[in-house]
Amino acid sequence: MANRENKHSQNVSGSFYCTAPDDPDGCTACRICYDTAPEFFMSDAEGNAYVFNQPKNEEEIALCQEQLDICPSQSIGNDG
Ligand code: SF4
């Protein structure tokens, strides 16, 4: 489960977030989320993901939830 106590500093406020890369369960820069859902996830200078745009409708939320479910390091969270 993503660590909500150690969020990436560049996340925009809202339900979805990425864990900070220095967290033991932080992003490993696999690229999946920002390649699959570039409208919501972005890479920082080191390749680690953060949420720059929050989903606003059911379809968008489902896409972000899908990234949460498949993230191999479980570093995407949803505060709901
Ligand atoms: S899917 Fe997970 S590990 Fe991969 S880039 Fe996104 S947050 Fe990082």
Domains in the chain: ranges and CATH: 16-78 (3.30.70.20)
Q: How many helices (H) and strands (E) does the chain have?
A: 2, 4
Section 4-10 average pLDDT? 95
pLDDT of residue 1 exceeding 90: no
Give residues (CB < 6 A) around ligand 1.
18, 27-33, 49, 67, 71-73, 75-76
* Residue of the CA atom closest to atom 4 of ligand 1: 30
What is the reported pLDDT for 16?
98
* Element (DSSP H or E) covering residue 41: strand 41-43
pTM of the entire predicted model = 0.96
pLDDT of residue 15 exceeding 90: yes
Closest ligand 1 atom to the C-alpha of 19?
7
